Amino acid sequence: MRTTLTLRQQGFTLIEVMVALVMTALVMTLLMGASFYVLQIREKLSTEVISGEQSTRQQLWYRQIIAGLQPLKAGVQEHFDADETGFRALTLHPLSASAVDAPTQVELRLQKLDDGVTVLNYTGQDGSKLELARWAEGTASFEYYNLAGKPLSNWTSLTQPDEHVPQAIALKVMSDNNTRQVSYWLASVSSDPWRDDKTPPSFLIGADKLGP
């Protein structure tokens, strides 16, 4: 009789086995839920990182193009011509896989698609086109800053005789109700030799009057 009781005490009852199974299932459920949550966070972070890298690359391209804008006087075919939808100009820094040793004509132009998406298109001198960026919502427009820091919606060499190119160019994207700024890109023009009326070094003064 004592031997039978001892054997029963050494085993597990049905209730104990069921409790163990329930606890195991609960732990597995928690682990699976935690793993799924971690995967969701990882996927979301990966998407945000990729999106952030893409946005940074697009803005770098935008600043690269504008930093190299070259000024030309009015009347020249390739003079800087711009409005709210974009501009056409010469730049030393086009989006090109090969090195460029002369100013190249490019165009940046906004396009509103039928589905409401706004696209920024880049057109190279050879006619090649590239979608530089896109925004799913909002209204985009360019602004051109003069020496006084005033933003202008239109710019041509004919109306700006003293400034051949702007000091900076901004690309602004506002929400459809114009209450929220969706995106804002600003780039300065750094290659305008006529921006300041500088006196040449003394050893160059009158050099243009010398004969060959």
The residue-averaged pLDDT of 124-136 equals 89
- Show me where the domains of the chain are located: 1-194
Per the model's pLDDT, the better-predicted residue between 157 and 118 turns out to be 118
Cα distance between residue 44 and residue 37, in whole Å? 11
On average, the pLDDT of the chain sits at 78
Per the model's pLDDT, the better-predicted residue between 27 and 194 turns out to be 27
Confidence tier at 201 by pLDDT (50, 70, 90)? very low
Indicate whether 93 pLDDT > 60: yes
Confidence tier at 65 by pLDDT (50, 70, 90)? very high
Q: Is 138 left (phi over 0), alpha (psi -120 to 50) or beta?
A: left
What tokens were used for 62? 């935008």
Cα distance between residue 191 and residue 110, in whole Å? 24
Indicate whether 124 pLDDT > 70: yes
Is the pTM higher than 0.75? The answer reads: no
What tokens were used for 41? 């966070």
The residue-averaged pLDDT of 2-16 equals 60
What do you get for the CA distance between the two ends of the chain, in Å?
Answer: 128
The residue-averaged pLDDT of 93-114 equals 84
